[in-house]
Amino acid sequence: MENFTMKKVMILATGGTISSQAGAEGMVPQVAPAELMVALDKFGKYYDIKYKAILNLDSSNIQPEEWKTIAQNIFDALPDYDGVVVTHGTDTMAYTASMITFMLQNLDKPVVFTGSQIPISSPLSDAQSNLATALAAIDHNVKGVTIAFNHKLMRGCRAVKIRTMGFDAFESVNSQNRGEFFADGIRLVTERFQPRGEICELKSEICNEIFLLKLIPGTNPKIFDCLQGMNYRGVVLETFGAGGIHYLHRDLYTPIKRLVDSGIPVVVCSQCLYEKSDFSLYEVGRKVIATGAIQSLDMTTEAAVTKLMWALGQTSSAEKVRRMFETNYAGEVTF
């Protein structure tokens, strides 16, 4: 047998379905379930693995405070390991992976998020194959933040959870998968995006006073005044189609412009999952541009929200936030 050097991998556990067991009121995550430890012991034949539980939460309870904890633990581990795997609940994994993408600037090693749709204690669980996929991403040095699920590798700031029950729970939206595993091996995509700098930096300051509003026909314009009154510092709007909002009967443009004029960035995206928004196509979109709102183009909603939170953690200037949205930090947008 040929000699090979085992990759050193830190596994940071945060809870989620992968480590859950049945409790009196439903599934509850465990710090170190025996089945997970057995699986990691098997993988220890191929990788030098260290396991550390940093959280023990259902991902619905993972919020900005936990994002900072996760980012700090990853950053601390990077010098001593070839890569980091974060086990995480699937429900908010896309938000966490996207935020970590922005917090860890110029990431030069693999950081891979994974989890499962069924707990690892079940014989039908997808946990072991997802863990194997995550570890293989480190083996192949897929740098940056990635979600590994159902034998696919997706950029963390492009992945969206699209299914609640199916094993193919995540999809890479408006961007190719970074890689995919088949019976004859892995197929990696040659990516054009390159980090903007040479040194990995932790920039974990964020602002969680952000509101996401999905417009419906008939949305009351007063909601925008309420948001300003509640001291929100940024708003993401999911608008219609390629980009439009209504102004007949209920004028939404005027209160949006008031927000922008008061220094509160308003980021506009489409409710459609695929393809970019283009607010220049129709009158109802051009009126949005005229308010001074920021277009997010083909970014996912998760990426638009986390990028705005992160941007407002770096600066209080609305103009600087606009310039940050005009910058591709980690492959989150196509210009």
List the catalytic residues.
Answer: 17
Residue matched to tokens 């991998």: 9
Torsion-angle region of residue 165: left (phi > 0), alpha (psi -120 to 50) or beta? alpha
Q: What b-and-e string marks burial along 252-285, b requiring 16 or more CB atoms within 10 Å of the CB?
A: bbebbbebbeeebbbbbbbeeeeebbebeeeebb
- List residues bridging with 266 in a β-sheet: 235
* Number of residues in the chain: 335
The Cα 238–Cα 236 span in angstroms is 7
Token duo for residue 193: 């995006």
CA 72 to chain centre: 16
What are the residue ranges of helices labelled H in 118-219? Answer: 127-139
The Cα 168–Cα 47 span in angstroms is 26
Cβ(137)–Cβ(181) below 8 Å: no
In this structure, what is the dihedral angle of CA atoms 45, 179, 183, 168, given to the nearest 10 degrees? 100
Token duo for residue 158: 């492009």
The Cα 279–Cα 239 span in angstroms is 10
The Cα 83–Cα 293 span in angstroms is 38
Residue matched to tokens 């909603």: 301
